[in-house]
């Protein structure tokens, strides 16, 4: 009996001690403890075992970030020499090089007296340090780490972000700050999309006209690349370069028109979309050139994997070139796909000779290609299934297209191996993981971070955490916290929001504009191009560029409506009304503002719509007598009108207001 | 009679047409016209004459910035080939290289039908384009350039910003974005302070241990330097490197202890302040080394001027070294100043042999130095006068120390040649201009922009505009507008303000914290170091780092009080009371917030003070019966207490509230 009582007491105390853990990605196993490890200026850490420069630097940055978040002037800002009884003790078991499948597991134990972090490799220690920093909390006594036992390892070995630095040039600082942010959510691959119709973004000393004539002067020098690679490695991130061939190659041909399948001259493409210029796969000189170029790049990028693109070859130049038709005939190729397969095979041989494994988009899948290549699925899930069943390693990007302004929840539930998968157990082993893809047709260095973050943190969790960690609300709650933490790395997804409004309307008018933009999202998918004719020079400073996926205020309003409709609580009703009145009132202010701020005139219809549906919502919350058939008819027609995209944006409170209207039936 | 009437009509119409011009720096002569040059997507520009790549690129960026500010999808985002009748016609008279004194003048005429920009040089055209962009305005019909005739040229030829990239490392993006911002306010010199006790920040291929061992890995590669120099030149900005010798050299000695005046080993200094390590000026090997190093750097930095520092040599290592004492004796040097003059002379000879002109801090002034050297005055104005009278070219930095958190108005009124100058007319010709100095002991890449901007725009105006353009209120009004415009270049002085608050207290609590920080400024001068023991690793994320010089809300409150006290208007009184009640109410919220946010506990006394003096101000605004002698006594003692710095910050509404109290007497 005494035992049972004691047990009960413990459970209760334990329950009291529980506080919400804002961990992301969520660990494989975590057990919260009652203890709190108090932090003061005497905090110290030591690393022992297979320590390297990267882990020491990471640990030093950990102390600086802890200092930045707490304002504490630590006595030791660098790891101390001798192992510790108290403080943070990091132990690294083995020296391992950074490559696909490197052990990233760690064990973390935070007690009141000490913190122990055990990892198999330096990379595992980095992952554990991020978890520890996410466990920072505070109470009336000061800062502490929440007591916990964590046992963690990733579900997938390849958790990447593709950054397209071609369509819009993304300078070094964009790359470096995003590498830091990636490491904060335990991502481990940066896929640099380096060549495109719109720009050739890497220095070639072997063929200098590539970057000299193909980049408008905007490219990474080889020194830059070395810095990116070492900066990434210091954060446990591999860098995979992509040289997209044979299509997407206009910028190559400005300097080397002889590579093309049609005669030049060529210029750098300023439009988006699939272009005709394509490498000529029939000339031996092509392979000589590519071997020279890829050999140079192989020396620059140490990772085993190299991406050759292979997507969206429209075949027009091939079809129009009699020489190429003849080549096809002579070799018995009945389709351009077969010709491209031949091209890919030649490239695969070059890469093999360079000790590289080839990665390509799903178009390259062909039975004749060696099983060492990796297929990245983007057009649909079937390619992933087909390739994995055929014995190829695969990566999922379909469903992770963060350039398309889809909600985080959509990406979050996009599992590379879903519960209902048709993949055989053998094929599942070929699923390496996935990559979020940040294509840059509609983003500038100013807006790109707001398309990457915070949604990529949800993708990072999908690829790291167990499949059953999939609660949308929990994800959103934690993602909000992590999102703000990422700002310490300089990413601009939060801070450029009001900055861009200031440019449009001035600081003093930001609050008015913000009320509207807070409930707007840019249209999803490829819809933006349907409203305006974009080139790479078009402005990306308008409201659809400011508005962000997952409009938080809209989401919260819709959740508030759900909550109210469940129990019809009067306070909640008042909260809803208060918000509606703000929106109604704001439409007049926006109108007035637009008189002297021409750039926001395009969003007046959205502002009107918001006001009108807010009035409808007010009516829906009024006594029943209003809600006759004709009111319902006009309400739903107004809601349908308001649901239509305008100024490349969508109002995201239609859902909540529609529910209020429906509830009156 | 008819003529007179017509004249009157014109004058009146003209007066009606006047709108406030937000020009900064203010031009030498500007005449506002009634016309408006309308901007739509057909806007075009052409450049003819002595056109170069830099002016074409500048003009292209001008179109992009115009597009970014207006959201207009221009048909032509690049200059067009043929001269224009309508649109913007830029004419450049001569091909001139970028050097001190290059002609920066321009004439700009904006009529309703066309815009003409005439400049002597490419740089002049750049300056004119900035003026034009500042004349962008909008009305109910859309965007336009305000009609005007501008005739403009700088008062001083040297308008610089010193950036210390040593104490805290400032990576490339900090440098590049600030170069853009500098060009926006027509500054023309970036002075890079590249070597210090705390870091050696440039790659040396001749002596690689300098950057390898002296920088913690944080340095500019030679490629980086080339990019900085060309990026600056493309904006009409010269780059002057500073290699600070013989003091401030600890980081040199980590790799090359043989250069020092005392035996090593040496480490990179982590503290601020004057350090002992000093180059040994008595050994020939020193000069051999420096000649090798300076020759290498002379090849990297094309400008004629090279800065050798020369400041703050405390002489301790020299005094303690018998070899050096002997050398002094043998050469008849009675002081360390004489020994340093010898050293400087030797360095001057090296620089002369490299076709460079030497610049140094005012300590180097010595009658024996050749007249070709330039003296930069920092310790006081007298050095500038002495040097100029002695026939040396001079630069003013005393009074432009933007790291010291002094108000913009102080810097603004700091004229290199004030009205009451004691400079002879001959000596005045030696005043080249001045430099704002951004020393980085107490700033990180995250905070540095908020110390540079917007105050440096006021300094830019002081150095460009006529001396009689010196109205503080006009400056503040225009500086506020320009400050927001600078954000298009990526500078973070505005957007990092709330970001840093988010880190401390979370997004949801920013409004509460902001109410207090809005009226705080970091303590001025070197006071911060008196409160906390700073090293280069200390956190720079606390409230004194978030608070900015020239707290705008405080300034506006103080102005509101002035306005009210002038006419005792009831509305103004209500405005004051409303503000006071917000401050009183907010102190409870801050207190509550501090319970769970330990880092803001240090500002509780400031919050309490603000609340207490706000209560006093409310009492001062109440009927007279309150205001007896004892009330006055306690009020002034409370105000005196509130005026004391706390948490390295000062409350900036003391002035206004004190006036309210005094007014009750």
Instruction: Give me the half-sphere count of Cα atoms (radius 13 Å) on the Cβ side of residue B651.
Output: 29
Closest B-chain CA to A444: B68
Question: Would you call B537 and A77 a contact, using CB atoms and an 8 Å cutoff?
Answer: yes
Asked whether residue B73 is assigned to any structural domain, the reply reads: yes
ipTM rounded to 2 decimals: 0.94
Asked whether residue B598 is assigned to any structural domain, the reply reads: yes
Question: Would you call B498 and A495 a contact, using CB atoms and an 8 Å cutoff?
Answer: yes
Question: Would you call A598 and B142 a contact, using CB atoms and an 8 Å cutoff?
Answer: yes
Question: Would you call B487 and A498 a contact, using CB atoms and an 8 Å cutoff?
Answer: no
Residue A492 Cα, gap to closest chain B Cα (Å): 9
DSSP B370: -
Q: Is A349 exposed, middle or buried (0-12, 13-18, 19+ CB in 10 A)?
A: middle
The answer to whether A471 touches A196, Cβ cutoff 8 Å, is no
pLDDT profile of chain B (665 residues), mean per 10: 42 54 98 97 97 97 98 96 93 96 98 97 98 97 97 98 98 97 98 98 98 97 96 98 98 98 96 95 98 98 98 96 98 96 97 98 92 95 95 98 98 97 96 98 98 98 98 97 97 98 96 98 92 94 98 97 96 98 98 96 98 98 87 97 97 98 93
The answer to whether A524 touches A401, Cβ cutoff 8 Å, is no
Per the residue annotation, which of A312, A338, A599, A641 is the catalytic one? A312
Asked whether residue B562 is assigned to any structural domain, the reply reads: yes
* B629-642 and B604-620 helices, crossing angle to 10°: 150
In whole angstroms, how far apart are CA B541 and each of A15, A69, A342, B455?
34, 7, 57, 21
Number of A:B CB contacts under 8 A?
Answer: 128
**Least CB–CB distance from B495: residue in A143, A496, A597:** A496
The answer to whether A449 touches A493, Cβ cutoff 8 Å, is yes
Strands A189-193 and A158-164, bridge-based pairing: parallel
How many other CB atoms are found less than 10 A from the CB of residue A421? 17
**Least CB–CB distance from A599: residue in B71, B223, B535:** B71
Last residue of a domain, one of A119, A152, A185: A152
**Least CB–CB distance from A73: residue in B172, B221, B532:** B532
Per the residue annotation, which of B312, B524, B599, B641 is the catalytic one? B312
**Least CB–CB distance from A172: residue in B172, B488, B541:** B172
In chain B, the number of structural domains is 2
Residue A601 Cα, gap to closest chain B Cα (Å): 10
Q: What's the CA gap between B478 and A94, in Å, rounded?
A: 61
What's the token pair of residue B261?
């005046």
What's the token pair of residue A13?
């105390």
What does R_g of chain B's alpha carbons equal in angstroms?
27
Chosen for mutation from B43, B60, B68, B509 (greatest number of chain A CBs closer than 10 Å) is B68
pLDDT profile of chain A (665 residues), mean per 10: 42 54 98 97 97 97 98 96 93 96 98 97 98 97 97 98 98 97 98 98 98 97 96 98 98 98 96 96 98 98 98 96 98 96 97 98 92 95 95 98 98 97 96 98 98 98 98 97 97 98 96 98 92 94 98 97 96 98 98 96 98 97 87 97 97 98 93
Asked whether residue A230 is assigned to any structural domain, the reply reads: no
Asked whether residue A111 is assigned to any structural domain, the reply reads: yes
* Cβ neighbours of B502 in A, within 8 Å: 484, 487, 494
**CB pairs under 8 A, 24+ apart, for A72-75?**
A72/A39, A72/A40, A72/A41, A72/A43, A72/A143, A72/B539, A73/A41, A73/B532, A73/B533, A73/B534, A73/B538, A73/B539, A74/A41, A74/A42, A74/A43, A74/B537, A75/A41, A75/A42, A75/A44
Closest B-chain CA to A485: B503
Asked whether residue B407 is assigned to any structural domain, the reply reads: no
Last residue of a domain, one of B123, B152, B181: B152
Residue B339 Cα, gap to closest chain A Cα (Å): 39
pLDDT at A3: 44
Question: Would you call B70 and A598 a contact, using CB atoms and an 8 Å cutoff?
Answer: yes
Residue B179 Cα, gap to closest chain A Cα (Å): 15
Q: What's the CA gap between B50 and B60, in Å, rounded?
A: 17
* Cβ neighbours of A545 in B, within 8 Å: none
A312 is catalytic: yes
Q: Is the pTM of this model over 0.90?
A: yes
Asked whether residue B641 is assigned to any structural domain, the reply reads: yes
pLDDT at B531: 87
Closest CA to A374 of A386, A362, A382: A362
Asked whether residue A366 is assigned to any structural domain, the reply reads: no
Q: From start to end of A12-127, where are the E strands?
A: 29-38, 45-49, 87-92, 106-110, 114-119
Q: What's the CA gap between A97 and A77, in Å, rounded?
A: 27
Q: What's the CA gap between B468 and B462, in Å, rounded?
A: 10
* Cβ neighbours of A539 in B, within 8 Å: 64, 67-68, 70-73
| Residue A33, domain CATH | 3.30.379.10
Task: Say which residues have a Cβ less than 8 Å from residue B312's Cβ, sequence separation at least 6.
Answer: B247, B248, B274, B363
Q: Which domain range does residue B595 map to?
A: 495-662
In whole angstroms, how far apart are CA A553 and each of A260, A518, A557, A576, B602?
50, 6, 6, 12, 33
Last residue of a domain, one of A84, A117, A152: A152
Which value, to the nearest 10 degrees, does the dihedral of the CA atoms of residues B220, B222, B228, B229 take? 140
């Amino acid at each position: 009996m005494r035992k049972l009582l004691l047990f009960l007491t413990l459970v209760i105390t334990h329950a009291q001690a529980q506080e919400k853990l804002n961990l992301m990605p969520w660990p494989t196993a975590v057990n919260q403890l009652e203890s709190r490890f108090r932090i003061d200026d005497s905090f110290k850490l030591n690393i022992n075992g297979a320590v390297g420069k990267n882990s020491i630097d990471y640990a030093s940055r950990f102390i600086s970030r802890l200092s930045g978040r707490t304002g504490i002037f630590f006595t030791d800002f660098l790891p101390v020499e001798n192992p510790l009884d108290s403080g943070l003790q990091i132990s690294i078991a083995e020296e391992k090089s950074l490559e696909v499948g490197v052990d990233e597991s760690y064990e973390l134990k935070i007690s009141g007296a000490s913190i122990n972090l055990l990892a198999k490799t330096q990379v595992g220690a980095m992952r554990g340090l991020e978890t520890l920093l996410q466990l920072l909390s505070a109470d009336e006594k000061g800062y502490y780490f929440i007591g916990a036992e964590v046992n963690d390892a990733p579900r997938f070995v390849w958790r990447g972000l593709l950054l397209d630095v071609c369509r819009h040039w993304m300078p070094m600082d964009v790359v470096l700050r995003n590498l830091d942010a990636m490491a904060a959510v335990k991502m481990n691959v940066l896929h640099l999309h380096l060549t495109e119709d719109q720009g050739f973004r890497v220095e070639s000393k072997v063929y200098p006209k590539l970057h000299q004539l193909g980049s408008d002067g905007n490219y990474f020098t080889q020194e830059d690349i070395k810095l990116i690679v070492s900066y990434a490695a210091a954060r446990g991130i591999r860098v995979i370069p992509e040289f997209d061939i044979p299509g997407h190659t206009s910028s190559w041909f400005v300097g080397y028109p002889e590579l093309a399948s049609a005669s030049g001259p060529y210029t750098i493409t300023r439009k988006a979309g699939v272009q005709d210029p394509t490498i000529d796969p029939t000339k031996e000189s092509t392979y000589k050139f590519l071997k020279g170029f890829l050999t140079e790049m192989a020396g620059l990028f140490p990772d085993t994997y190299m991406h050759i693109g292979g997507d969206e070859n429209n075949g027009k130049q091939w079809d129009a070139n009699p020489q190429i038709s003849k080549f096809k005939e002579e070799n018995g190729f009945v389709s351009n796909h077969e010709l491209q397969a031949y091209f890919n095979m030649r490239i695969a041989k070059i890469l093999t000779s360079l000790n590289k494994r080839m990665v390509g988009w799903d178009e390259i899948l062909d039975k004749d290609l060696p099983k060492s290549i990796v297929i990245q699925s983007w057009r649909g899930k079937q390619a992933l299934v087909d390739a994995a069943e055929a014995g190829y390693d695969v990566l999922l990007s379909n469903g992770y297209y963060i350039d398309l302004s889809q909600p985080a929840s959509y990406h979050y539930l996009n599992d590379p191996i879903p519960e209902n998968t048709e993949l055989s157990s053998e094929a599942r082993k070929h699923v390496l993981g996935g990559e979020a893809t940040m294509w840059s047709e509609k983003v500038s260095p100013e807006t790109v971070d707001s398309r990457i973050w915070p949604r990529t943190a949800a993708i990072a969790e999908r690829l790291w955490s167990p499949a059953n960690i999939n609660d949308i609300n929990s994800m959103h709650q934690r993602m909000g916290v992590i999102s703000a933490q990422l700002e310490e790395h300089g990413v601009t997804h939060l801070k450029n929001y009001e900055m861009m409004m200031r440019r449009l309307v001035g600081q003093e008018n930001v609050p008015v504009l913000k009320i509207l933009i807070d409930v707007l999202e840019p249209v999803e998918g490829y819809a933006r191009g349907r409203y305006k004719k974009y080139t790479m020079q078009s402005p990306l400073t308008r409201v659809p560029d400011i508005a962000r996926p997952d409009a938080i205020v809209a989401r919260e309003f819709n959740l508030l409506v759900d909550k109210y409709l469940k129990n019809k609580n009067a306070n909640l009703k008042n909260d809803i009304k208060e918000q509606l009145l703000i929106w109604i009132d704001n439409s007049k202010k926006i109108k007035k503002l637009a008189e002297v701020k021409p750039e926001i005139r395009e969003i007046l219809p959205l502002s009107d719509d918001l006001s009108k549906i807010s009035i409808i919502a007010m009516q829906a919350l009024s006594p029943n007598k209003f809600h006759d058939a004709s009111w319902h008819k006009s309400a739903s027609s107004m809601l349908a009108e308001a649901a239509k995209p305008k100024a490349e944006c969508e109002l995201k409170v239609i859902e909540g207001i529609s529910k209020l209207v429906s509830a009156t039936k």
